[in-house]
């Protein structure tokens, strides 16, 4: 067996792992990165990027339908209805993924990190076997990521699919049933609705996206109703039954009558998309000796160190931080620099969260309720997309969205920003930076924002918080 000794071994080439490997190599460390599938990981290959490509395509298709109606739209008419060819859409999406995958491989090579394809099997904390190669490392970074949670009574296979298969369909689905009204289920459910599928959502909580407050959810709930997405909240999925016609019968029941079989409801589906969360990919780590919590996440401190000296863990597989690609990337860079002798900790003031539904929902920092619960004296201000010129020129105001600022009443320090509406995700960088730097309302108010852009809404929302917005009465 070939033996490869290195200073840093990174397991997993997702957004955490490949960033860690690139930064380690940049810092002059002999670095090997191992990936069982394709460089880029879940986010790039079968998650964030392909889903956003599908979302963009769905918007295009949905918009074309407006132009093909009698009288057209914006003065633009299309003679006939737009036609959807799912295989072509899938090919376009796959081309984007392929380009980014090759880009990651090129970046690793250019930085001097060695990419080895295969699954790592650990012999001990710092020795892994990949095919016929034994890798012996001074430091190990575990970036194993996460996988979709499988319901025991609704196993994946056939018509029951995860988000991975939902992004790889060759044919349009007539009726998609989504189990779980979280961000993954709603993003993909709305995509398929905009592509012309019938969509039904089954959610156990009393609302979809329960992590957001009612004010933020309201525009999305209106969109779902307007576009005839059938949403069933407060119900438990109970199982599936394969039918002779090739479809699948989905069973669900109101949670208040969960023990009464006579209250069971059913709906037929062509595909059943199960999106009830993700779990850490921590199987097979026993030989490393790293400690896991009761849910299978690797325990780490703020430096992402495990209980084993020289073994680190980052991203979705850890119990530190949200399961977000940008969190994994941040931690990957941080760990590489710590191995090289720096002293950094994961202690962000603000971590942005985005749901790419229609309309989009964005939150960074504290909501009004969270700020009050933390003991802050709170003032808030809102500015609607309907009062922003750039939003109107992009028809972004039709979603009924807004930007909301949360600040301390006494010293005017910005505590959080939330928004809902078309295109609002592109505004989150300024908000995150403002909170991270401890900006005051006056700092934003005194900053010139370019016109006409949607960033002006941040300025106006701050002015509204101060009590003197210009463009709303």
Going from N- to C-terminal start, the domains of the chain cover: 2-148+279-339, 160-276, 353-466
Handedness of CA 298, 302, 304, 306 (dihedral sign): negative
Tell me which residue of 301, 300, 273 sits closest to 285, measured CA to CA.
300
In the prediction, which pLDDT does 245 show? Answer: 95
Tell me which residue of 29, 31, 28, 34 sits closest to 11, measured CA to CA.
34
In the prediction, which pLDDT does 30 show? Answer: 98
| Phi–psi pair at 300, nearest 5 degrees | -140, 160
Give the N- to C-terminal CA distance of the chain in Å, as an integer: 75
Q: Cis omega before residue 133 (within 30°)? A: no
Q: Is 312 in a helix, a strand, or coil?
A: strand
CATH code of the region 353-466: 3.30.390.30
Tell me which residue of 24, 284, 276 sits closest to 139, measured CA to CA.
24
pTM of the model: 0.94
Provide, for the chain, the percentages of residues in helix, strand and coil under a 3-state DSSP scheme, each rounded to the nearest 5: 35, 25, 40
Give domain 160-276's CATH architecture.
3-Layer(bba) Sandwich (3.50)
Tell me which residue of 25, 52, 37, 301 sits closest to 145, measured CA to CA.
37
Assigned token pair, 5: 């000794």
Question: Of all helices (H) and strands (E), which one includes residue 161?
Answer: strand 160-161
Q: Is 195 in a helix, a strand, or coil?
A: coil
At residue 248's C-alpha, the angle toward residues 244 and 251, to 5°, is 125
CA dihedral 242, 244, 248, 250 (to 10 degrees): -80
Contact 458, 430 (CB under 8 A): yes
Strand stretches in 196-337, DSSP E: 198-203, 230-233, 235-242, 248-254, 265-269, 271-274, 278-280, 311-313
- Taking residue 199's Cβ as centre, other Cβ atoms within 10 Å add up to 27
Assigned token pair, 320: 């530190």
Cβ partners under 8 Å of residue 102, min gap 6? none
Any idea which fold 2-148+279-339 has? FAD/NAD(P)-binding domain (3.50.50)
| Phi–psi pair at 372, nearest 5 degrees | -65, -40
Domains 2-148+279-339 and 353-466 share a fold: no
**Ranges of the chain with pLDDT below 70:** none
Cα–Cα distance between 269 and 435 in angstroms, integer?
Answer: 45
Question: Of all helices (H) and strands (E), which one includes residue 133?
Answer: strand 133-142
Catalytic residue among 451, 459, 468, 471: 451
Cβ partners under 8 Å of residue 447, min gap 6? 459
Alpha helices in 115-197 (DSSP H): 163-166, 183-194
Q: Is 138 in a helix, a strand, or coil?
A: strand
- Taking residue 167's Cβ as centre, other Cβ atoms within 10 Å add up to 22
Confirm whether 451 is a catalytic residue.
yes
Pairing mode, if any, of strands 133-142 and 378-384? unpaired
In the prediction, which pLDDT does 198 show? Answer: 98
Q: Cis omega before residue 452 (within 30°)? A: yes
Contact 356, 55 (CB under 8 A): yes
């Amino acid at each position: 067996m070939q033996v490869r000794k290195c200073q840093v071994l990174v397991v997993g080439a997702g957004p955490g792992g490949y960033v860690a490997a690139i930064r380690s190599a940049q810092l002059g460390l002999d670095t090997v990165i191992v990936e069982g599938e394709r460089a880029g990981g879940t986010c790039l290959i079968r998650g964030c990027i392909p889903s956003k490509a599908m979302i963009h395509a769905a918007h295009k298709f949905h918009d074309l339908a407006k132009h093909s109606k009698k009288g057209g739209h914006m003065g633009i008419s299309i003679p006939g209805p737009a036609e959807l060819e799912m295989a072509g859409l899938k090919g376009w999406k796959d081309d984007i993924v392929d380009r980014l995958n090759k880009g990651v491989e090129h970046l690793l090579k250019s930085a001097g990190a060695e990419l080895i394809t295969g699954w790592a099997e650990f012999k001990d904390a710092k020795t892994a076997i990949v095919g016929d190669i034994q890798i012996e490392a001074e430091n190990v970074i575990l970036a194993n990521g996460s996988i979709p949670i499988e319901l025991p009574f609704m196993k994946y296979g056939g018509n029951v699919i995860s988000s991975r298969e939902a992004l790889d369909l060759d044919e349009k689905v007539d009726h998609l049933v989504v189990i779980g009204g979280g961000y993954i289920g709603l993003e993909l459910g709305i995509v398929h609705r905009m592509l012309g599928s019938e969509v039904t959502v089954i959610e156990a909580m009393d609302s979809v996206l329960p992590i957001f407050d009612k004010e933020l959810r309201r525009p999305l709930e209106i969109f779902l109703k307007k576009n005839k997405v059938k949403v069933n909240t407060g119900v438990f999925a109970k199982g599936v039954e394969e039918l002779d016609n090739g479809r699948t019968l989905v069973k669900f029941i109101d949670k208040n009558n969960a023990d009464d079989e006579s209250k069971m409801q059913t709906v037929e589906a062509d595909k059943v998309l199960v999106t009830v969360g993700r779990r850490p990919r921590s199987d097979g780590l026993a030989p490393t000796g790293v400690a896991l919590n009761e849910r299978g996440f690797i325990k780490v401190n703020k430096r992402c160190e495990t209980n084993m000296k020289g073994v680190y863990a980052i991203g979705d597989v850890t119990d530190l931080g949200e399961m977000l690609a940008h969190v994994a990337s941040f931690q990957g860079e941080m760990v590489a620099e710590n191995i090289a002798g720096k002293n950094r900790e994961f202690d962000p003031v603000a971590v942005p969260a985005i749901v790419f539904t229609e309309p989009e929902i964005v939150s960074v920092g504290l909501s009004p309720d969270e700020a009050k619960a933390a003991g802050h004296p709170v003032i808030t201000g809102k500015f609607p997309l309907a009062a922003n010129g750039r939003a109107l020129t992009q028809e972004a105001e039709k979603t009924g969205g807004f930007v909301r600022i949360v600040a301390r009443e006494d010293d005017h320090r910005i505590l959080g920003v939330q928004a809902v509406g078309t295109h609002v995700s592109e505004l989150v960088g300024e908000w995150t930076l403002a909170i991270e730097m401890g900006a005051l309302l006056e700092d934003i108010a005194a900053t010139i924002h370019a016109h006409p852009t949607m960033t002006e809404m941040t300025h106006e929302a701050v002015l509204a918080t101060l009590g003197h917005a210009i463009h709303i009465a």
